Amino acid sequence: MSDGHRSAQVPATSRTRVGRPLLSLALASMMDEVHAHSGAVYLLAPGEPVLEMAVVAGLPRAFAAPWERVGLSAPIPVADAVRERRLVWVGGEEEMARRYPRIAVVLPYHFSLAALPVATETTTYGAIYVTWPGGHPPVLSDREREHLTAACDRLALRLERALDESRPLLHEPDLLGVPAMGNVAGSLGSVEAARMVSRLPYGLCSLDLHGRVSFANAAAAELIGLPVSRLLGTQLWASVPWLNDPVYEDRYRGALFSQQSTSFVALRPPGAWLSFRLYPTTTGLTVRVTRARAVAEMHRAAPQPDETPSRLVTISQVLTLAGALTEAAGVQDVVQLVADEIVPAVGSQALVVLGSRAGRLHVLGHRGYEDPHLVERFDGLPLAEPTPGTHALNTGVPAFFESQEQLERLYPRRHETPDGFAAWAYLPLIASGRPVGTCVLAYAEPHPFPADERAVLTSLGGLIAQALERAMLYDAKHQLAHGLQAALLPHSLPTLPGLEAAARYLPATHGMEIGGDFYDMVSSRGVAAAVIGDVQGHNVTAAGLMGQIRTAVRAYTTVGQAPEEVMRSTNQLLIDLGADLFASCLYLRLDPARGRAVMARAGHPPPLLRRPDGRVRVLDLAGGPLLGIDGSAGYPTTEVDLAPGSVLALYTDGLIESPGTDIEDALAELGRRLAEAGELPLDDLADHLVAHSPAARERLDDVALLLLRARTET
């Protein structure tokens, strides 16, 4: 928690009672010195690596509700400031979207932010952040930096003094300007001023920082369609049904954050369009309401709202999309989700997702292009090539081109390979500070990208990058798991005289999809053998031990050991390896010419035998304990008739065991299916048994199945 110093984290909230509101005064003074718009003080929670919001100033606490409690490991400016013991500066909405997409998704507004630790040389007490409206320069001045740093140092010393004197901190109220409510004349300063406002030909409302109406003139009430008494003390989007849309509340939040006037139009049913103009101050907003006749005329000729989907991405939509991205597993899942949900939501018609690997771009997926060759030309493109996609990725700055002329002016080579689209957004995909790739959104018509839309797209780029990074890691692990599993299991089964064989393997669906189930067939020096087994676990350790067991069984079979000796030798091997894992196993020495099989079992589920007449019985063989438990254990053998047409079904417990199912019932059901479908070709029979197994469908455990059919040699 320190730069070269040992640092303690002290829960300042466990101390109290300072004579004056220490935190509120310190925050207000700091904001006044640097002309900040809003801010908050965080204190370390008692006994937890968590920052708790203690005091908020300038804006309602609800605006920062998702960050009331912040873990020190969270990718949040105040947490970064504490962890790294330095000032963290975010110069605007695009930088916020790039570095802290989680914040930008919830607050896609034009503002700057500085976060600083509240700490002495040895002790960290918490952190402070302050924000400025959108008009602040993108760089923090030296004067502002010095004032902020000095103010945090002073607060840390005061908290240290309070701790030394055992003076705990009392709860302090948030610092918000609350205008007077109810009395119109009082809220405006004079009765005459109130009369003047009431005579204005347009509507006028006053909202406090919480969005509540503190004043409305008669014209506003008439335009909105509710009496003044129904409006006072309420939020417009709560009291007026046709304003109950996140878009309108978002404009109120945006105006307060950016301190810039904004406007929107809304349809008052059945056909009256109203214009709302918001003028923010540090204590609230003034709202001017007028009829929007020109807008109404335009909408009469335009398609109805249900005919043309809105292209405005609201906060709720962004949060929904962000939640969906967290569910995407593989790379193609991410591409599919972006194509199905994000592309339509932002009004785009085509998509390309490019990944970055070994200094080149690679096409991970695309949608909306009639000619796929137009996209595939990017595959393998060096990052040094001067293209908009490589430039966005190399610089980490998104690029927006409103028209083809604008794109070709900067990248003339694009004129040679037109893709049929007229506007583009190139979003760099940066995750954990590392370039992952580029997301390209293409539009069929020229498309302006206003500031709020650029902020939303940049935020989505950050979320896509995080999802893509997880997906690429998942795919890499998935490929590793399947490659390792494929290397450890036989690629094909040998052809043995008088026998047909078929096998299936399904890994468990959780973890790395790699496990310890195995099967094999051995033919050496006239000896034919089969084995199936199950090592504890679904991980690399289990798979590695499985490979050793399979190799050992092959070796012991090749040197001519009898079935009981093969089992004893393999058991001793596991004990000597000291792996602390056990394994079940079933080993068969096959003699189809004599119609016999000799079996040895080590704690494995009993095999099923289907006779030529279709009857199925469970072979309840004698056996010994699991391999790897008792070095002195013996494994008796059982000889079984294997007449031509008989089918032996060897399996692991993943084929029959599932929660809530009795093992005897599951075994009986497997036997019934084997009896019914036993005449099928062996590969079809294997597919049938796996497909109709509830346990195999749930895949809570690995599944291995080995089928052997005795046949008459011709």
When pLDDT is cut at 50, 70 and 90, the band that residue 15 belongs to is: very low
Both structure tokens of 504 = 């299936």
Mean pLDDT value across the chain: 82
How far apart are the two ends of the chain, measured CA to CA in Å? 80
Are 124 and 1 spatial neighbours (Cβ–Cβ below 8 Å)?
A: yes
Token look-up 């004893």 returns 568
Q: What's residue 63's pLDDT?
A: 83
Query: Confidence band (pLDDT; 50, 70, 90) for 687?
Result: very high
Structure tokens at 643: 């007449």
* Helix or strand (DSSP H, E) at 435: strand 434-443
Tell me if 571 sits within 8 A of 581, measured CB to CB: no
Question: Token pair of 134, please?
Answer: 């959108």
If we measure between CA atoms, which residue out of 381, 354, 654 comes closest to residue 508? 654
Closest CA to 125 of 154, 147, 105, 96: 154
Q: Could you give the CA distance from residue 354 to residue 364 in angstroms, rounded to a whole number?
A: 5
- The strand pair at 8-9 and 123-133 is best described as parallel
> Is the distance from CB of 177 to CB of 283 less than 8 angstroms?
yes
pLDDT at 300 over 60: no
Helix (H) / strand (E) containing 220: helix 218-224
pLDDT tens-digit series, residues 335-357: 888 888 788 878 889 999 999 88
For range 281-295, the mean pLDDT: 80
Residue 654: in which H helix or E strand, if any? none
Q: What percent of the chain has pLDDT over 90?
A: 32
In angstroms, the CA 194 to CA 217 distance is 9
- 3-state DSSP assignment of residue 534: strand
Cβ neighbours, 10 Å, residue 576: 10
In order, the DSSP letters of 239-301 are: HSGGG-SHHHHHHHHHHHHHT--EEEEEEETTTEEEEEEEEEETTEEEEEEEE-HHHHHHHHH
Q: How far apart are CA 598 and CA 143, in angstroms?
A: 89
Residue whose C-alpha is closest to residue 196's, from 224, 181, 226, 217:
217
348 neighbors 425 (Cβ within 8 angstroms): yes
Beta bridge mates, 53: 42
Spatial separation of the C-alpha atoms in residues 126 and 50, rounded to whole Å:
9
In which residue are the tokens 């008692």 written? Answer: 46
Dist CA 542 CA 517 (whole Å): 9
Of 601 and 174, which is predicted with more confidence? Answer: 601
Whole-number pLDDT of residue 318: 61
**Which is higher by pLDDT, 375 or 33?**
33
The H or E element that residue 42 is part of is strand 38-44
Map residue 393 onto helix, strand or coil.
helix
Any idea which of 188-197, 226-235, 419-428 has the lowest mean pLDDT? 188-197
Contacts of residue 3, defined as CB under 8 A and 6 or more positions apart, other chains included, come to 85, 86
Residues 206, 286: contact at Cβ < 8 Å? yes
- pLDDT tens by residue, 458-510: 878 888 888 888 888 877 776 766 666 666 677 778 888 888 999 998 877 55
What local confidence, expressed as pLDDT, does residue 686 receive? Answer: 93
Q: Determine which helix (DSSP H) or strand (DSSP E) holds 131, and give its type and residue range.
A: strand 123-133
Sequence-separated (6 or more) residues with CB below 8 Å from residue 91: 112, 138, 139, 140
Mean pLDDT of 364-369: 90
Confidence class for position 185, pLDDT limits 50, 70, 90: very low
Contact by Cβ (8 Å): 636, 623? yes
Cα separation, 425 vs 457, in Å, equals 8
The Cα 406–Cα 604 span in angstroms is 70
* pLDDT for the residue numbered 298: 44
Structure tokens at 517: 């189930």
Single-letter amino acid, residue 450: P
pLDDT of residue 440: 93
Confidence of residue 609 (pLDDT cuts 50, 70, 90): very high
Region 385-392: mean pLDDT is 89
On the question of pLDDT at 360 being above 70, the answer is yes
Q: What is the b/e burial string over 82-104, where b = at least 16 CB atoms within 10 angstroms of the residue's CB?
A: bbebebbbbbbbbbbbbbbbbbb
Which residues have CB under 8 Å from 273's CB, separation 6+? 265, 266, 267, 291, 292, 293, 295, 296, 299
Element (H, E) at 132: strand 123-133
In this predicted model, which residue has the larger pLDDT, 115 or 377? 115
For residue 525, give the nearest of 559, 482, 495 by alpha carbon: 559
Predicted pLDDT at 620: 84
Query: What's the per-residue H, E or C state across 151-216?
Result: HHHHHHHHHHHHHHCCCCCCCCCCECCCCCCCCHHHHHCCHHHHHHHHCCCCEEEEEECCCEEEEE
pLDDT at 2: 38
For the chain, give the number of residues: 714
Residue 165: CB atoms within 10 Å: 10
- For CA atoms 19, 20, 22, 26, the dihedral sign is negative
The residues, ordered by sequence, that sit 6+ positions from 634 with a Cβ below 8 Å of its Cβ are 564, 568, 624
Pair 571, 587: CB distance under 8 Å: no
Dig out the tokens for 105 from the structure.
């998704």
Q: What pLDDT score was predicted for residue 509?
A: 57
Residue 19 has pLDDT above 60, yes or no: no
Which of residues 295 and 133 earns the better pLDDT score? 133
pLDDT average, residue stretch 188-211: 72
Q: Is 257 exposed, middle or buried (0-12, 13-18, 19+ CB in 10 A)?
A: buried
Token pair 């493109």 is found at 381
Distances (CA, A) of 461 to 102, 335, 382, 385: 11, 13, 21, 22
Residues 499-551 have pLDDT tens digits of: 899 999 887 755 445 667 888 998 877 778 999 998 876 666 777 788 888 88
**pLDDT at residue 618, rounded to an integer:** 92
Count CB atoms within 10 A of the CB of residue 418. 10
Instruction: DSSP for 569-629, please give it.
Output: HHHHHHHHHT----EEEEEEEEETTTTEEEEEEESPPPPEEE-TTS-EEE-----B--BTS
Q: In terms of pLDDT, which residue wins out, 187 or 53?
A: 53
Give the pLDDT score at 264. 86
